[in-house]
Amino acid sequence: MIIILAFAVLVLMFVCPFLPGIIEYYQKTDADPLFVPIDFSRTPRYFGASFRHILSASLSHLDVEKDQITDIMLSKKEKVEITADKIIPAGERVDHILNVRGNLKSGNNVKFNTNIFATGNVFLGEANDVHVLAADGNVSIAQGTKIDRWVDAEDVLDVAANCDLGISATSGGVLRIAENNRFRRLYGMPIVAGINGQPQPVAFENKLFTEVILPDNSFIRRRKKRVNDDTEVAQNIVFEKSVKIGSGCIFRGAVKSYGNIDIKDNVAVYGNVFADGDVRVGRGSVVLGNLFSQGSIYLASGVKVSRPGVFKSVIGKKAVYIEKGVTIYGYVATEGKGLTL
């Protein structure tokens, strides 16, 4: 019996120091919000800028106003074609780098096995396969095209349906993206879901955009699992469980949850939305801050994230789903599945 009691005391002494951590892991009773490194940033159009710089340096000894096919040294020796406006017929295969002074147009089912740069506009036909594409003008991508790595347009980027956009699709202007497109990262000012779409106004938009005054950095903890319709909250809120936010609510601060966040229709959130679980944003709602989820993010039709000239991010670790009519001013990223609906 003495041995058993001594063993029990030993186990208790071993476990006790870990009890607060175990309780915190499951109950999350601390007073601090979820930690997210807000000061971390990346250049959304890094690939395009880097490629332009490397290509320009490699061509510096050549007369780029003269049409020619020659070798240059990148990470290895590569063949490059320097040419004026170029049209690639349907069904062709291009195995060398293209450096086009002016516009590039391709027919259907063209396969570009290496990199493309154009100083003008680019028009890709249906079912093209492109390794890398950068253009100083507009880029228009027809349906069924596959980008192996990335695409970057200095101006407008239009993407038709059923495309695979590789690891990155970025634009210095508007990025319009149709349905059933797969992506990992998007950037545009703004990104508009719908190939003919334009940023859509919301009823309370003007008031929101002119009265964005956020509360201080303190957070109020709440255990409730639902916020009633048309509620107005002036503080930053941390919900300890999953929460449903009713239609017509206005949050003048940030909204965070250790579970899921289900935002119903026509809700306005002035600050950031962060969740350990999934985030769903209902039709016509506006989030003026960043959206971050350790799970998936679903943006319903008519959702707006941020506002003109203000860069914000939508980051869903597992997935990001975007319905037609969504407008995002800034950056979208996922480590898992990105899809327009």
Query: Hey, is 337 helix, strand or coil?
Result: strand
Q: Give, as one character, the DSSP assignment of residue 85.
A: S
Q: CB within 8 A of 136, min separation 6: which ones?
A: 118, 119, 120, 154, 155
Cα(85)–Cα(175) distance, rounded to whole angstroms? 24
Domains in the chain: boundaries: 46-193, 205-325
Per-residue pLDDT of the chain (341 residues; tens, 9 = 90+): 777 777 676 767 776 776 666 655 555 555 455 555 555 556 889 999 999 999 999 999 999 899 999 999 888 899 999 999 999 999 999 999 999 999 999 999 999 999 999 999 999 999 999 999 999 999 999 999 999 999 999 999 999 999 999 999 999 999 999 999 999 999 999 999 986 655 555 545 555 555 566 677 788 888 889 999 999 999 999 999 999 999 999 999 999 999 999 999 999 999 999 999 999 999 999 999 999 999 999 999 999 999 988 999 999 999 999 999 999 999 999 999 999 99
CB of 303 closer than 8 Å to CB of 320: no
Residues 71, 72, 74, 80, Cα dihedral to 10°: -60
Closest to 333 measured CA to CA, from 192, 194, 183: 183
pTM of the model as a whole: 0.85
